[in-house]
Amino acid sequence: SVRACLTGVGGYLPKRVVTNEELASRIETSDDWITSRTGIHQRHIADETETAASMAASAAREALAYAGADAAEVDAIIVATATPDEAFPSVAVRVQAAIGANRAFGFDLSAACSGFIYALATANAFILAGQARKILVIGSEVYSRILDWTDRTTCVLFGDGAGAVLLEAEDLKGSGRGILSTHLHADGRLGDILYVTGPGSKAGAVLKMQGRDVFRHAVAKLSEAVDEALEAHHLVASDIQWLVPHQANLRIIDGMARKLSLPEGRVVVTVDRHANTSAASIPLALNEAMRDGRISKGDLVLMEGLGGGLTWGSALVRI
């Protein structure tokens, strides 16, 4: 039997950076309001040539290079996104063609900001079932195209980008590395507090959010999710070396760090520079912390996130 090991990471951020000050010159907001409520200082915003597919392909190439793997060896590509520029072909299949992963099957997955956790869990299940040995798992988002740029309650919170990981089947008798468990949840009764109308709607895609309600549910549900992940392995909080949370709001992230009694230096934070990149935020954070040497082989990492649906979940991974 096998385990799914995380062997590569990659990321892509658009060049253009939009600061809080720049937003404040266009809408009724301030750097102080945004920073104190969210921890966000700036975000990257795609230009007209950058799409979910182009950013995903760049992140995927980096993840393959990190792992020393070839695109031709990839069995599957799963892309978590809410912002494909086409309803079909899927972003995953566009990536397959762009990187030359000609053997791979691929599909997109919709779980909003929990998309990367959902995609990781799905890829893990394919590997454990013996249906694939190498899978690219990607989160890629251009929320700048679904924001109402006149709505200050939402447009200041999000940014664009893509992150990718390569998962590879490894013999269970090996190092003890790999995905130890994933936990997924959803509550569709809360669907209306955060949603984006789809390409099939008459309204055109636009994001709507009741921020305060989302905040309240995020703290409660992620807190339960952290307990669930620890209990499943009879772990205590201090066994976790790194928290790599979805990057929606620094106050939510700090709340989870306190729950795990993790010192600040053991939580990967990118929300200050990336804002909320939805399904891309966790792999982008992981990419940063693995490349700069903070997270290293053997570390036990807890990833968690919550998003529209509501959907939420966690993944416990030994790197």
CB-based closest residue to ligand ACO: 211
Nearer to ligand ACO, 77 or 82 (CB): 82
Nearer to ligand ACO, 96 or 276 (CB): 276
Contact range with ligand ACO by CB under 6 A, out of 68-76, 181-189, 213-221, 267-275: 213-221
How many chain residues bind ligand ACO (CB under 6 A)? 24
214 binds ligand ACO (CB under 6 A): yes
CA-to-CA dists, residue 190 to 35, 110, 116, 126, 311, angstroms: 27, 16, 20, 29, 9
Given the residues 44, 183, 246, 274, select the one marked as catalytic.
Answer: 246
> Is 276 known to be catalytic?
yes
In 129-246, which residue ranges form alpha helices assigned H by DSSP? 152-155, 211-232
167-199 exposure pattern, b = at least 16 Cβ within 10 A, e = fewer: bbbbeeeeeebbbbebbbbeeeebeebbebeee
> Is 246 known to be catalytic?
yes
Least distance between ligand ACO and beta carbon 303 (Å): 14
Out of 53, 138, 218, 284, the residue judged to bind ligand ACO by CB under 6 A: 218
Least distance between ligand ACO and beta carbon 102 (Å): 34
Interface of this chain with ligand ACO, residues 41 to 70, rule: CB under 6 A: none
Which 3 state secondary structure label does DSSP give 97?
helix
**Angle formed at CA 262 by CA 258 and CA 266, multiple of 5 degrees:** 130
Token reading at 313: 């979940």
Out of 113, 136, 253, 290, the residue judged to bind ligand ACO by CB under 6 A: 113
> Is 5 known to be catalytic?
no
Out of 83, 96, 276, 314, the residue judged to bind ligand ACO by CB under 6 A: 276
d(CA 262, CA 257): 5
Measure the N-to-C terminal CA separation of the chain; round to a whole number of Å: 19
Nearer to ligand ACO, 131 or 153 (CB): 153
Nearer to ligand ACO, 80 or 262 (CB): 80
Residues 6+ apart with CB under 8 A from 210: 193, 194
Interface of this chain with ligand ACO, residues 124 to 183, rule: CB under 6 A: 152-153, 156
Strand partners, 134: 168
Is residue 76 within 8 Å of 129, Cβ to Cβ?
no
Out of 105, 107, 195, 215, the residue judged to bind ligand ACO by CB under 6 A: 215
- Supply the Cα-derived Rg of the chain in whole angstroms: 18
User: Contact positions toward ligand ACO, by CB under 6 A?
Assistant: 29, 33-34, 37-38, 112-113, 152-153, 156, 194, 211-212, 214-215, 218, 248-249, 252, 276, 278, 306-308
Active-site annotation, residues: 113, 246, 276
